[in-house]
Chains A and B, each alone.
Chain A
């Protein structure tokens, strides 16, 4: 309004108008106050609902469940081992959406065998594609910087060239959940985003010495599905790996013992840490795969308390021979 302008209304009507406006504002304030009254008491910022983070992709199929291929060429060994179990088609059907959890923990070259070998990753991606999988996504939440890990290990290039996609984790890709009955995985961020729409899950892990856990193989590999400050679980490493065995039930796992990291694990860093052990396992039971794997490291299952505990909980067969693994020679043809 400009100077001297008091509006078109008479003083009485102006008073009534303002009075009504003030009353309306008053009512609105009171209403808002009542509506907002302690709606979020202090300490109640998170509104996330409880969430079951379990990933169960076990198929429960009859027939052979574990094969061990001996050889040197990882791709050939994988094909041979799978063929012994009835071929990839037994697990991956046309239209399946496959997620492959590799071990890409460190940004180190493939030759140091601290990570899943790119040739092996490329072959499993290719096989899934050939079997008709509509999408094949490879992921891990590694220890070193994710992008660096996937590039420097060669896994990134291998995935791209064989028709798969990479999923690099970010904060929003995890969701807090509690594993039923768990002591450790409670209200904890677990990778969720890349699991959307997934129908099959494959784990691919090398055989490695691990200072804290004794050995890092297919079960320890699920650590890479955890987010948050997960390194605090090293205070109870056997507890967390046992819980991971309950958290994740894969379609099958591939344990690569072509070379095994015998010392200085899990990072290694020298070819001197590696030993040719010439074995590659495909198994629907990760506990059985790891139970075999520890023999490659010169250990027994009794050196790995988490294996014993997982066996006691019925999460797999510690006595892997009970699965009657099919042993095959894999020669390059």
Chain B
């Protein structure tokens, strides 16, 4: 079997596996549901997720141990991940191949020429990693933004929220996602850019590819063109996915290990995979400028502190930003979340949504609760999101911890606090009976109780009214009341993040009530 056939099988297998893991990312025990599938496995493999969170939290989340394997693979064999495993890469390669089916060899050779702009991805990587480092030491000002461009989170959120939803696949049929348009169009754009240059994303933008390119610096094995038999036909450059120019000088950091060069060589011998630098010449590291590198680092280092001047993690914290149950405090959340949107995808009620710019730049594409868009609020007995999160931005809760009142007698996890808008609530504002919120409040004893009064109406009749009142010591901010409120435009009872248990300084309750 040819090596390129093996590669195509691997790419096909991992792409299919990836799509399958996306399809089954729905809570349930059916054959096409989550069951025990390792739905976050590709994210766990991603060394950029691991390195980013290590820089921000000074700790390696155990779920990310898999990434060490990819680091080891890359250190020894180069960017095998890009050419053989990456589902986004496989998609690019397939699209690029499709677009060039009818092209002549010369055109293909031209489109696979190395371009100096391929260094852009290294500058992006430098800026993103610099932003993950807190400039004053400690962990407070570290912002993890790698997920914006990291291909693994990107392809997860794109396929899960946009592609599968559009196709109506599985349980994804009746779900809505804020920002799906932006996520989907960007994804489509990145895929279509393969019509301009094959593997456009991989060559110019991919920060993970850049990281792996640098990691492969010492790989003892690599593509090697032996001069003795070489006729200098340069056919090895024709289908080169990474535009790394195997004919020499070989740019090792750009090589995606697609092995097309070996396949294309008419002598069948001169291009090989050998334990030596290519005799045709080799450039082991990307040719990035010191100036550009320093500028990227400076941009990254200052980006987070500048953004934090907006006060969104301090006194100006957005009350509408309700994080999923088990989410850690906001500063740490921003240090851990990679914007993969796995939690968004698995949330059975569709209440977790990717944030747009409404909570600030940093929170872009991070999960926030929306109690209108889905089929309910946060379900009392559901802990799916924390178990889908690859980085611990949402802790994997036990049901006991989420519900509280276990052996430790702890309080339940509170996402926020509901409050009745007495200017809109039907009984309060219009004298019409309702209390749907009280009925649907899932905690026991209920967090919503009713005040009963006999109210005289203008027409002289009297009505017995029950008016809802929220007890902040019982309300968990699940949003079921908000979801069920019959005022479907602006609800008469709404949840904000006040009193969320993840940040004690947002507490409404006194200390001993917590």
The distance in angstroms between the C-alpha atoms of A37 and B392, with both chains bound, is: 13
- The closest CB in chain A to the CB of B65 belongs to A33
Q: Is the CB of B62 within 8 A of A42?
A: no
Contact mask for chain B residues 383-422; partner A; CB cutoff 8 A; 1 contact, 0 none: 0000000001101000000000000000000000000000
Contact mask for chain B residues 334-362; partner A; CB cutoff 8 A; 1 contact, 0 none: 01100000000000000000000000000
Point out the residue from B75, B219, B507 that lies within 8 Å of A29, measured CB to CB. Answer: B75
Point out the residue from A14, A22, A39 that lies within 8 Å of B59, measured CB to CB. Answer: A39
Point out the residue from A1, A229, A233 that lies within 8 Å of B282, measured CB to CB. Answer: A1
Q: Is the CB of A30 within 8 A of B68?
A: yes
Interface residues of A in 1-59 (CB under 8 A from B): 1-7, 11-12, 14-15, 18-19, 21-22, 25-26, 29-30, 32-33, 36-43, 45
Q: Is the CB of A184 within 8 A of B510?
A: yes
Chain A residues with CB under 8 Å of B335's CB are 45
Interface size on B, residues (CB 8 A): 50
Q: Is A228 an interface residue (CB 8 A)?
A: yes
The distance in angstroms between the C-alpha atoms of A178 and B219, with both chains bound, is: 55
Interface residues of B in 54-94 (CB under 8 A from A): 54, 57-62, 65, 68, 71-72, 75-76
Q: Is B179 an interface residue (CB 8 A)?
A: no
- The closest CB in chain B to the CB of A37 belongs to B60
- The closest CB in chain A to the CB of B222 belongs to A18
Q: Is B277 an interface residue (CB 8 A)?
A: yes
Q: Is the CB of B512 within 8 A of A42?
A: no
Q: Is B511 an interface residue (CB 8 A)?
A: yes
Q: How far is the CB of B340 from chain A (nearest CB, A)?
A: 16
Q: Is A134 an interface residue (CB 8 A)?
A: no
Chain B residues with CB under 8 Å of A19's CB are 220, 275
Q: Is the CB of B61 within 8 A of A42?
A: yes
Q: How far is the CB of B119 from chain A (nearest CB, A)?
A: 16
Chain B residues with CB under 8 Å of A79's CB are none
Chain A residues with CB under 8 Å of B507's CB are 229, 232
Q: Is the CB of A14 within 8 A of B510?
A: no
Q: Is the CB of B249 within 8 A of A232?
A: no
Chain A residues with CB under 8 Å of B60's CB are 32-33, 36-39
Given A45-B328, A229-B505, A232-B508, A40 contacting B220 (CB threshold 8 A): no
The distance in angstroms between the C-alpha atoms of A44 and B201, with both chains bound, is: 36
Q: Is A236 an interface residue (CB 8 A)?
A: yes
The distance in angstroms between the C-alpha atoms of A278 and B248, with both chains bound, is: 97
Q: Is the CB of A45 within 8 A of B332?
A: yes
Q: Is the CB of A11 within 8 A of B277?
A: yes
Q: Is B329 an interface residue (CB 8 A)?
A: yes
Q: Is B431 an interface residue (CB 8 A)?
A: no
Point out the residue from A6, A29, A183, A239 that lies within 8 Å of B281, measured CB to CB. Answer: A6
Q: Is A188 an interface residue (CB 8 A)?
A: yes
Interface residues of B in 247-302 (CB under 8 A from A): 248-249, 275-284
Point out the residue from B218, B249, B328 that lies within 8 Å of A3, measured CB to CB. Answer: B249
Instruction: From A3, A6, A187, name the one whose CB has the most chain B CB atoms within 10 angstroms.
Output: A6
The distance in angstroms between the C-alpha atoms of A185 and B68, with both chains bound, is: 45
Q: Is the CB of B76 within 8 A of A43?
A: no
The distance in angstroms between the C-alpha atoms of A303 and B504, with both chains bound, is: 33
CB contacts between A and B, total, < 8 Å: 123
Q: Is B113 an interface residue (CB 8 A)?
A: no
Given A36-B59, A186-B511, A43 contacting B281 (CB threshold 8 A): no
Q: Is the CB of A39 within 8 A of B139?
A: no
Given A1-B284, A6-B282, A36 contacting B54 (CB threshold 8 A): yes
The distance in angstroms between the C-alpha atoms of A151 and B407, with both chains bound, is: 54
Q: Is A235 an interface residue (CB 8 A)?
A: yes
Given A15-B275, A18-B220, A184-B512, A36 contacting B58 (CB threshold 8 A): yes
The distance in angstroms between the C-alpha atoms of A183 and B511, with both chains bound, is: 6
Q: Is the CB of B392 within 8 A of A22?
A: no
Interface residues of A in 214-268 (CB under 8 A from B): 228-229, 232-233, 235-236, 239
The distance in angstroms between the C-alpha atoms of A1 and B277, with both chains bound, is: 12
The distance in angstroms between the C-alpha atoms of A185 and B336, with both chains bound, is: 31
The distance in angstroms between the C-alpha atoms of A45 and B57, with both chains bound, is: 8
Point out the residue from A11, A22, A228 that lies within 8 Å of B219, measured CB to CB. Answer: A22
Q: Is the CB of A186 within 8 A of B281?
A: no
Q: Is the CB of B511 within 8 A of A3?
A: no
Contact mask for chain B residues 158-186; partner A; CB cutoff 8 A; 1 contact, 0 none: 00000000000000000000000000000
Q: How far is the CB of A44 from chain B (nearest CB, A)?
A: 8
Q: Is the CB of B249 within 8 A of A37?
A: no
Q: How far is the CB of A218 from chain B (nearest CB, A)?
A: 24
Q: How far is the CB of B206 from chain A (nearest CB, A)?
A: 21
Given A37-B62, A38-B62, A14 contacting B505 (CB threshold 8 A): no
Instruction: From A18, A184, A236, name the one whose CB has the most chain B CB atoms within 10 angstroms.
Output: A18
Point out the residue from A2, A40, A233, A235 that lies within 8 Å of B57, measured CB to CB. Answer: A40
Chain A residues with CB under 8 Å of B275's CB are 11, 15, 19
Q: How far is the CB of B500 from chain A (nearest CB, A)?
A: 13
Chain A residues with CB under 8 Å of B277's CB are 6-7, 11, 14
Given A36-B60, A42-B393, A232-B507, A183 contacting B72 (CB threshold 8 A): no
Chain A residues with CB under 8 Å of B282's CB are 1, 6
Q: How far is the CB of B328 from chain A (nearest CB, A)?
A: 5
The distance in angstroms between the C-alpha atoms of A6 and B140, with both chains bound, is: 45
The distance in angstroms between the C-alpha atoms of A153 and B502, with both chains bound, is: 39
Q: How far is the CB of B456 from chain A (nearest CB, A)?
A: 33
Q: Give 30 A-B contacts (CB < 8 Å), ordered by A residue.
A: A1-B283, A3-B281, A4-B281, A5-B281, A6-B277, A12-B276, A14-B276, A14-B277, A19-B220, A21-B218, A22-B75, A22-B76, A22-B218, A22-B220, A26-B75, A29-B68, A29-B75, A30-B68, A33-B65, A38-B61, A39-B58, A41-B392, A42-B336, A43-B395, A45-B328, A183-B510, A183-B512, A184-B510, A187-B504, A236-B510
Given contacts A40-B59, A183-B512, A236-B510, 18 further A-B contacts (CB under 8 A): A1-B281, A1-B283, A4-B248, A11-B277, A14-B277, A15-B220, A15-B275, A22-B76, A26-B71, A26-B75, A29-B71, A29-B72, A29-B75, A33-B65, A36-B54, A42-B393, A43-B395, A186-B511
Residues of B near any A CB (own CB < 8 A):
54, 57-62, 65, 68, 71-72, 75-76, 139-140, 215, 217-220, 248-249, 275-284, 328-329, 331-332, 335-336, 392-393, 395, 502, 504-505, 507-512
Nearest first, the 5 closest Cβ-Cβ pairs linking A and B are A42-B392, A11-B276, A21-B218, A183-B512, A40-B59
Residues of A near any B CB (own CB < 8 A):
1-7, 11-12, 14-15, 18-19, 21-22, 25-26, 29-30, 32-33, 36-43, 45, 183-188, 228-229, 232-233, 235-236, 239
